[in-house]
Chain A
C-alpha cells in the first residue's frame, strides 16, 4: 500500500504565478511611465492609468499564453477585483478619517456631561454629549417599538396571507421607502404638533423616524420570509395547525435571524437622520429624560450643531460625536450578526 499525504494540486505554484507577478510589476512600471510621459499626473492619474494598464496587461498576457477565452476571463476578473476595491476603499477611508479625527476629542467625561453650561469655545474636555446619547437612545427605542411590529406584520401580510391588497400594499411600501426624511418630519410636525398642539418631544421624533423605518423593515422582512421553504408551512398545516400557529411557531422562528437583520437595517437607516429631528425633537443642550415632552438632542443633531458653531473646540466635539455615532451603529450591526447567527429557538 502506498502512503498518501494530503496535497492541493489545484493551488497555484510559483511557476504558474510568475507570469501574473511579472504582469503586476509591468503594470506598475507602465503606470509610472504614463504619469511621467503624458499629461496624466497625480494620484488620480496614477489610479486611472493603473486600472487601464492592468486590464490591457492581464488581457495580453493571457492572450499570448493561452487564448482569447482566457484573456476575456482574465480581463473580467481584474475588472471585478478593481470594482470591488473601489467599493471597499471609500468605506475604509471614511472609517480611518473618523477614527483619526474623532479619537483626539474623546474623553470619558463627555459621556457624563451635557452642553447646558458649556460654551462653544470651551476646551473640548469640558461638556459632553450625554444629552445626545440619551436622545438617540430614546429615538431608536421608540421608533423600533413603533415600526418593527408594523413592518413585520406588513411583511407577513405580503408573504403569508397574500391578501387581495398585497400588490397595492407592496407598491405603497416601496413608494414609502422613497419618501424624503424631511417630508416625514414635516408630516409629524403638521399633524402631531400643529394640528394636535403637542410640543417638541422624542416621541414625535420617533414617529417621524418610524415612517422612514417601516418600509426598510417591511421590505427586508418580506425578502427573508420569502426564503422560508413553502413545504415547512405545508408541514405545519398538515399537522392540523391553524395558519397563525404555523406562522408563529415555524415560519417566524425559521426566519428569526433575518428578521433581526431587518430590524437592525431599519435602525441603521434612521440612527443618522437629522432633518426630521429639527422639526420634531427641536434640539437641546441639556439632558431631557422625559421622552414624551420637551426639546431634546440626538447624536446627528449634536454633530450638526457643533459643526455649525465653527470653533476649533466644537469641531473637535463634532468629530468625537461622529465617532460615537459610528461606534453605536457598528455595535448594532455586530449584535445583529451575533444574535442572528445563533440557531433560532422559539
Chain B
C-alpha cells in the first residue's frame, strides 16, 4: 500500500464533553475521502485532529493515534510545524492574508516556514495552475488577495496550501460559502490534485461527496459523541449502504 494517513481509535473531548468517539479510518495515497454527516457530529473536529489543529482549542483533549508513513504524529518529540507542512488544510471561509498580494499569498507558506524559494515564477505558476486559478490571475499577481471573488479567494487558499508540497490536503467544507460555478471549479481542482496526493474533504453537500470522492465515511451523533456509522467506497454508500441510518441520510430522509 502506498503511503497515506491512518487514524486509529480517535477520540476527542472539549472539556468534559466527549465530541468524537473511537474513529478509525485509512486514507490511501491518491484518493479522495469525503466525511459526511449532520452538523455537530464531529467531522470537523476529527479533520482538525489529523493535522494537529485540534490542540489550539484551550479545552481540547484527544486519544488515539494518527499514523503518517507508519509513525504517530502525536508522538512526543515530533516537530508539529513539520507535520502541518506535510498535511495542509483549506478552511470553510476563504482566508487569504489581507496584507499580502496574490503572489505573496501563494508563497506565504514557504516564507512562513522559512523554506528556500528556488524558482518563484515556476512555483507561482504551477501552484496557481493546479488550483485552477492561473488563467484568471496571471496578469494581476501584484494585486491584493482581497480583490478576488470568494471562489477565486478559496482557490488562492488552495494554491497557498499546495506551495509547501503537502502529502495530504484536508478540506473543511471548502465550498460552503461559494456559488455553484466556483464549487464546480474547485471540485475539478480536487479531482486533479487527487492524482498526486491524499485528500480528505468534509462536506454537507451529498452530491458533492458523490461527485468528488472515492471513499465516503458517514458520521453521526445521537446526542452523545460523534461516531463512524459506515465507511465504504462512495458508490456503495450512495447506492447500497449497509446501515439503515446511512441510507436515510444519503437519501435525504433526515439530517
Contacts and interface: CB of A to CB of B under 8 A. Distances in A.
Interface of A: 162, 229, 231-232, 234-242, 245-246, 249-250, 253-254, 256, 343-346
B84 A232 contact: no
Contact of B112 (A234, A245, A344): A245
Contact of A246 (B95, B112, B161): B112
Among B56, B97, B161, max chain A CB count under 10 A is at: B97
Among A229, A241, A242, A256, max chain B CB count under 10 A is at: A241
B84 A238 contact: yes
A162 B59 CA distance: 14
Contacts of B82: 240
Interface in B80-123: 81-86, 88-89, 91, 93, 95, 97-100, 108-109, 111-114
A234 B91 contact: yes
Contact of B84 (A240, A250, A344): A240
B155 interface: no
B121 to A, nearest CB: 20
Size class of the contact patch on chain B: 20 to 34
B81 A240 contact: yes
**In the complex, the 7 A-B pairs of residues with the closest C-beta atoms, listed nearest first:** A240-B85, A241-B112, A253-B99, A239-B109, A238-B89, A240-B84, A231-B95
B53 interface: yes
A239 B85 contact: yes
A240 B91 contact: no
30 contacts: A162-B58, A229-B95, A232-B98, A234-B53, A234-B95, A235-B95, A238-B53, A238-B89, A239-B109, A239-B113, A239-B164, A240-B82, A240-B83, A241-B81, A241-B109, A241-B112, A241-B113, A245-B112, A245-B114, A249-B108, A249-B111, A250-B99, A253-B97, A253-B99, A253-B100, A254-B97, A254-B98, A254-B99, A343-B144, A345-B99
Interface string B69-86: 000000000000111111
Contacts of A235: 91, 95, 97, 157, 160
Nearest to B97: A250
